[in-house]
Structure 1
Amino acid sequence: MSPELHAGLVRGLGLFVPLLLFTGLCLWRAPRRRETAAVIVASAWSLLTLVPLNLYAPHTGWWTFHTDGAEWRGIPLDLLLAWVVLWGALPALLLRLLPVPLLAGLLVWIDVILMPLADPVIDLGTFWLAGELTGATVTLIPALLLAYWTRNGQLVHARVWTQATLAGGLMVALPILVLGPEVPSGPEALAGAQLLLLAGLPGLAAAREFARVGGGTPLPYDPPERLVTSGPYAFVRNPMQTSLVVVHLLLAVLLREPLVLLLAVSAAVYSVGVAAWHEGAQLRERFGADWTAYRSRVRPWLPRWRPWPGRTRGVLHVDANCALCLTLARWFTVRSPIALDIRPAAEHPDVLYRLTYETPDGLRWSGVSALARALEHLNLGWALTGWAIDLPGVRHLVQLCGDAFGAGPHPARAPRADRGGSELPAPA
């Protein structure tokens, strides 16, 4: 057999065998909604991590590819797709039959056998097993765990953060890597990075809102259990799509790359067309009149300046014995917050030790997170501030600073008589 024919056979079998196995599992039993979501996230994680793995492999001597056609930066696209199916989509369905540890060991064993058999296409280096172990650690095992958690509805916050990472990597970073534009440096790069972070903030906050309030994720096959009208959704119906389009537009300007505009157009067309039609029908079916009322008052793309009055109400519990807390309560009151009640913390049935924000369905935040939630009831500018200070890391730093200036934990008690019965300010 000629080397060209042998290489073609390896590439053909490498692609179609995993696809046929995956198709057979789907025909045997159609994937349920959560299984479909598991297939999507596992495949997305595999793609996002296999690309840098294979770009890095030649520099370490793990392996190199020898192919002609259908390749990008030396990576054969058909084998990349096959690897995504083998380590992403296929194991997400095989979780029906095997537990995660056994499935991970089985797939690594299969890959160790197949890699040397692809000799005409893949040239293995001395330490290729180290690359195999690295791939299993950063690609296969996380993909399996994501699929398992998604199938079983577990660790929703971790899944949302992962989906946000996948969205940024596959919809922003990877297309830019493929296009390869010249990246600016110096003050222009710093200013651009800040603008991009600001543009992406509502989308990230919206994804977190799905997990924290709705108990779901942005994936249509793993949606929130409740209609989410708080957070960014109190200002605009499509905060994640809006953020993505704005990020692409900013990148097109910063990188001076007109092709990036096509990404913005594609995202907008998808959101206006397929997503709006499909997701709108689902939401109308699940939430009925609540969705209709929300849709009639909140625009899909252009944000409101003040939040929708019909959004989920919140209660901010403030210690009436704390001068700093009373100042904060007055600050909120004079700005006429929408759908926010401010009440003495001492009236709460539990002993509260920090500023506390609650919703009617029992969700609770304290400290800086409570402040961030309350800021959403003012206007879009203050809401952006709240979403920024509530980011992990930032929140902890702000909380430490606040504690240092007197906002530390202390039990809330009834107003003291020697203060004349300090009361919270009446709503404006």
Structure 2
Amino acid sequence: MTSLAIEAIALYWPILTAILLGLLLQVTPREKLGLLYAVLWNLATLPCLNGIAEWAGWWSFETSSPRLGGLPLSLWIGWAALWGALACLLSKKLSLWLVVILMALIDLLVMPLLEPLLVLGRQWIFGELFLILGVLLPGLLLYRWTAESTHLGRRTTLISLGFALLALVLIPLAAHVGSWATLLDKLTSQPPINQVCAAILATLLSIPPILAVREFVLIGRGTPVPMDAPERLVTTGIYRRIRNPMQTGITLLLFLEALYFFNPWIAFSAISILVYSLGFARWSEDSDLSRRFGKDWENYRDQVPSWRIRLRS
């Protein structure tokens, strides 16, 4: 079988099977949200952990088709559909650990058949275990915790980590032709003083979003995702100083990356997020919070800036 045929099957079979199973099962709104989280988790972590697997010599992909972190885009999406959607839907009827075993058996049977697309190393089984623990299992737990509205702190941590990887790692990776080697070479080729200053500034810019997530969990009892938003209006902690610390922090971090790598595509991504945040997201947020919290939100909105820190209380 040719590499192109393997990629087509790997892309369409999991997607179509997941869609069919989703239509057959009764999926609640919370379960749909959990499926979305699980798919995004898989999309965020698969290229990162696959890069480690290739570096360790567990396997490599040999294809001329576009890749992200060494992973062909077709397999990236298909794998995310298999582990992020199909596996989670199966867990509605089967125990979580049985689903993990089933997915592992599928990989153990299928991966040796993917030649010439996939070249396996002698210890590739360790890579399989590595991805099960780092990608499949957290995705399944994230789906279950979301569907059952449990483990708020843990699921918010996974959600935040997934979105951070998508925005701050995969965007720069894609901007550097999807190659870890190119990205890491560009990262380490800067003078030491630039590396130190960038690391310090990135750490400082990361503090407001982290503090914001903490307030959402502890005070608001919700996540940063609008469909899973806090139950209470959060005006404490970092929110006493700025209304949008997460959007501000992520946007500034992307601009920092664009400047560090001197890459127009990362800058375009930052500008796109900024335009979206100032446009649709701002309108949607104001409409939703006005409906849910009324005067409390309006008073808070009038007193606290959206994208700059208020120095005086």
TM-score tier (shorter): 0.7 to 0.9
Q: Look up the match of 1:114.
A: 110
| Residue 119 (structure 2) aligned to one of 119, 123, 128 | 123
The yes-or-no answer on 1:99 pairing with 2:95 is yes
Amino acid at match of 2:302: S
Q: Which residue of 1 aligns with 2:34?
A: 38
Larger Rg: 1
The correspondence for 2:249, drawn from 208, 229, 243, is: 243
Note closer, same or farther for the CA distance 1:88–1:302 as it changes in structure 2 (3 Å cut): same
Aligned equivalent of 1:167, options 163, 168, 179: 163
For 1:220-259, what aligned pairs fall within 5 Å after superposition?
220-259=226-265
CA distance, structure 1, for counterparts of residue 290 and residue 119 of structure 2: 54
Q: Report the aligned-residue RMSD.
A: 2.3
Q: 1:419: which partner in 2?
A: none
Structure 1 position 124, deviation (Å): 2.6
Query: In the TM superposition, what is the alpha-carbon distance from 1:208 to its structure 2 partner?
Result: 0.8
Change (3 A) 1:124 1:99: same
Letter in structure 2 aligned against 1:56? I
| C-alpha distance in 2 between matches for 1:188 and 1:71 | 29
C-alpha contact (below 8 Å) 1:88/1:140 kept by paired residues: yes
* Structure (1 or 2) with the greater helix fraction: 2
**CA displacement 1:104-138 (0-9 Å, x = unmatched):** 11111122222223233223333222221222122
Partner amino acid, structure 2, of 1:240? M
1:207 Cα deviation after fit: 0.8
Aligned residue among 213, 217, 227 for 1:211? 217
1:295 corresponds to: 301
- What are the ranges of 5 or more consecutive residues in structure 2 without an aligned counterpart? 177-182
SS for the counterpart of 2:65 is: coil
Is 1:271 paired with 2:277?
Answer: yes
TM normalised by structure 1 equals 0.65
Q: Which residue of 2 aligns with 1:378?
A: none
Over 3 Å counting, the alpha-carbon distance change for 1:60 and 1:32 in structure 2 is same
Tell me, in whole angstroms, the C-alpha distance in 2 between the residues paired with 1:29 and 1:65.
35
Superposed CA offset, 1:245-302 (max 9, x none): 1112222233333332212201112212232233333222322332233223333223
Once the 2 structures are TM-superposed, how far is the Cα of residue 74 of structure 1 from its aligned partner?
A: 4.0
User: Which of 10, 16, 33 lines up with 2:12 in the alignment?
Assistant: 16
Q: Secondary structure at the match of 1:64?
A: strand
Deviation per CA, 1:58-116, whole angstroms, max 9, x where unpaired?
44443222323233454211011111111123323333222211111111112222222
Shift of 1:193: 1.4
Mind listing any 5+ residue stretches in structure 1 that lack a counterpart?
308-428
Q: Report the Cα distance in structure 2 between the residues aligned to 1:238 and 1:141, rounded to whole angstroms.
A: 32
Looking at structure 2, the residues matched to 280 and 248 of structure 1 have their Cα atoms a distance apart, in angstroms, of 25
Residues in 2 aligned to 1:289 and 1:32: alpha-carbon distance in whole angstroms: 32
Q: C-alpha separation between the residues in 2 aligned to 1:227 and 1:217?
A: 12
**Inter-partner Cα distance in structure 2 for 1:74 and 1:145:** 26
Q: Deviations over 1:154-194 (max 9, x none)?
A: 22222222233223222112222332372334233222211
Count of aligned positions: 303
Structure-2 change in CA distance of 1:121 and 1:199 (3 Å): same
Residue range with higher mean Cα deviation, 62-71 or 79-88: 62-71
108-117 vs 214-223, greater mean Cα deviation: 108-117
**Counterpart residue identity of residue 24, structure 1:** L
The alignment partner of 1:228 has SS state of coil
Change (3 A) 1:297 1:31: farther
User: Aligned letter for 1:44?
Assistant: L
Q: Per-residue deviation at 1:29?
A: 5.3
CA contact (8 A) 2:243 2:307 kept: yes
Taking structure 2 as the reference length, what is the TM-score of the superposition?
Answer: 0.87
Q: Equivalents in 1 of 2:209, 2:57: separation in Å? A: 40
CA distance in 1, matches of 2:25, 2:312: 48
Aligned to 1:182: 186
Matches within 5 A, 1:24-423: 24-28=20-24, 31-72=27-68, 74-178=70-174, 179=176, 180=183, 182-183=186-187, 184-307=190-313
Secondary structure, aligned partner of 1:182: helix
Aligned mates of 1:25, 1:305 — CA distance in 2 = 53
Residue 20 to residue 182, structure 1, CA distance change in 2 (3 Å): same
Could you tell me how far 1:30 is from its partner in structure 2?
Answer: 6.9
The structure showing larger relative contact order (alpha-carbon pairs under 8 Å, at least 6 residues apart) is: 2
Q: Which residue of 1 aligns with 2:179?
A: none
8 Å CA contact 1:35–1:92 kept in 2: the answer is no
Q: Distance in 2 between matches of 1:32 and 1:287?
A: 26
| Residue type of the alignment partner of 1:104 | V
Deviation at 1:37, TM superposition (A): 3.1
Q: Which residue does the alignment assign to 1:371?
A: none
Contact 1:33 1:222 in 2 (8 A): no
